[in-house]
Chains A and B, each alone.
Chain A
Amino acid sequence: MAQIRIENVRKEFGTFTAVQSSSFTIEDGEFFMLLGPSGCGKTTTLRMMAGLELPTSGEIYIDGEEVGMKPASQRDIAFVFQMFALYPHMNVGKNISYPLLSQGMPKAQVKKKVDEVAQILGITDILKKPVGGLSGGDRQRVALGRAIVRDPKAFFMDEPLGALDAEFREHMSEELRALHDRMGATTVYVTHDQLEAMQMGDKIVVMNHGVVEQFGVPQDIYDWPATMFVASFIGSPSMNFLNFHGIVGSGTNSVDLGDSQIRIPEQHGGARGDLALGVRPEHVHLDDSSSYRGEVTATEYLGTTQIVTLNTPNGEIKARIPSSDRVHVGEKTGLHFDERTITVFETEKGRALLSAGNEGVLNHG
């Protein structure tokens, strides 16, 4: 059980900066997701927390104690690797008991702990088997078993479901979350899969190019992205950007796109130049009474909903609408945007402007 705090942590490999001055706090007992595309520094950040890499600068606190330069073996944490890293020359039971043996725990007690963990994970019947012939799911369970057996302060998981096939991932992610809720230990989980992050995480950090883009609960991040990167990385299809050149003043609550006026949340910061309105596809409605118009270029049927691609004067956008609505390619239609959910971005910096909507979210972190 531990709170983990990262302060201005930075990591360089030669001339390449993997992580640039990141800071965030993981509260005790949280299921915390480090999310980002490959090469964004999320795994490096996790490895620094675990002690497998040493930070170039900055501090890492586990339970208030600075551990930045401590070796992994002294941090009392568990790590689940993407390829599981089960010791191939040992059987399942030996693998699970290995972290206990390093502490010099008596044999009888080790056996008791291993049996207990095997019970929790439902792998009692394979304890004597070599790890070589196990299925992906069982390997995953053994890796988890090795992690939980010694009640560490925190669990670190590096894309633990990445090696499993889609069908099984679903099941394992539920199992993982249930396990976390049962143990109540702090878990830090690295993934590039935004759905997985939203589904499982209490909190999410979104990273890109070694920079923390945003940090918060999944819904805040989805609804009020701090940057255009977060907006486009999270959500499928991703957030639409209606690009325009103009001025948004503080206190204003609408922008003019061509001849149409689009209502937006009251702005608390102003900007001029190249701007963009960020609208989630599900907040785009086809409404012929609206003066802002677009032309349907494609439709994609997804069961209960459909994704409609439209050409507008401000670029291509996608709308998620019920499948029952009849839409035809080539049709011109009016578009209405859900005004409460719109975020205005400065295109060049890629940052969201503060508004009545996102102020509460973006100001806390």
Chain B
Amino acid sequence: MSFSVTEPSNRTKWVAGTAVVLYAVITILPLMWIIATGFKSPADSISYPPKILFEPTLEGYVNLFTQRTRLNEEDLAALPPPETWYDEMVREQGQVITGASRYGERFMNSVIIGFGSTFLCMVLGTAAAYAFSRFRVPLKDDLLFFILSTRMMPPIAVAIPIFLMFRQLGLNDTHLGMILLYTAVNLSLSVWLLKGFIDEIPVEYEEAALIDGYTRFQAFYKVVLPQAATGIASTAIFCLIFAWNEYAFAVLLTSGTAQTAPPFIPTIIGVGGKDWPAVAAGATIFLVPVMVFTILLRKHLLRGITFGAVRK
């Protein structure tokens, strides 16, 4: 019988495989449930025992995007016939559409604030990380530690001072305010991550560019940035996920104009009874951008996670 150090035994592989599958099921199941609930009718969504197989309907999605009002039967009958498939769907519930819901707006707020803060965070983070990596910054180690220390408490611990500050500055419920806030929270992480990535790029590349007749900024832009792309992408995912999912500050600091989707989704419950399919539909749509972003950049993300684990 042969024995190998690098090749695991069949039994080990079997145990490891089972563990991974089990873990995948546990994490994916709630997600699948949410997605499924979005396509159920309100009755199916609260039926007991829960229904695994059901007749899919877009009612949840229609309800998510519309504002409706309930009419009595005579008024309903007096109306002209429904013009569209979603009109018809709503009428079957004894309601009529009175307008679009605010979900679209809130979702756009999430996009603007999430991507805006991620972008700003990358610009500032890359610049700071480059400076820390390449230049002789006075008190460099202390500054880096200070930057990291802002991350040592949960961000929400400073909620009250930030709330007061925002009120003073008129940043309450504004896109700018939320972008600045999420950027500030994410910046420490991105400076540290990006510094690691830039440290790994040999300084000779920039020196070669300087010799080749380029300015320091051109060398940074044309030679360092393309090589740091992987690091920037993985850092961007971390920042986006935080800003996208953030709930506590969003509840506290936004109410209308700049409200993001996370605090809005729970409020759907209140519109005409417990509308679980609409809530689930909102959550499902909310998941899509980060999911797409992550899948597109998943190779970089993996490198970002294992980064620095092995010294070459």
Contact = CB atoms under 8 A, between A and B. Distances in A.
Interface of A: 50-52, 71-73, 77-79, 81, 83, 85, 87-89, 98-99, 102-103, 146, 150
B210 A71 contact: yes
Contacts of B218: 102
Interface of B: 202, 204-205, 207-215, 218, 223, 226-227
Given A52-B207, A72-B207, A79-B207, A85 B213 contact: no
Contacts of A87: 205, 208-209, 223
A188 to B, nearest CB: 13
Main secondary structure of the interface of A (DSSP, over half): loop
B213 A99 contact: yes
Given A87-B223, A88-B227, A89-B226, A102 B204 contact: no
A89 B202 CA distance: 14
Given A73-B215, A88-B227, A83 B210 contact: no
Contacts of A77: 211
29 contacts: A51-B210, A51-B211, A52-B207, A52-B210, A52-B211, A72-B207, A73-B210, A73-B211, A73-B212, A73-B213, A73-B214, A77-B211, A79-B207, A81-B204, A81-B207, A83-B202, A83-B204, A85-B202, A85-B204, A85-B208, A87-B208, A87-B223, A88-B205, A89-B226, A89-B227, A102-B213, A102-B214, A146-B212, A150-B213
Main secondary structure of the interface of B (DSSP, over half): helix
Given A87-B223, A88-B227, A102 B207 contact: no
A82 B202 CA distance: 12
A89 B205 CA distance: 11
Contacts of B215: 71, 73
Contacts, number: 53
A52 B205 CA distance: 12
A52 B226 CA distance: 22
Given A73-B210, A85-B204, A150-B213, 12 more contacts: A52-B207, A52-B210, A73-B215, A85-B202, A87-B205, A89-B226, A98-B212, A99-B211, A99-B212, A102-B212, A102-B214, A146-B212
Contacts of B210: 51-52, 71-73
A48 to B, nearest CB: 13
A85 B214 CA distance: 15
A175 B263 CA distance: 70
B208 A103 contact: no
A85 B223 CA distance: 11
B136 to A, nearest CB: 9
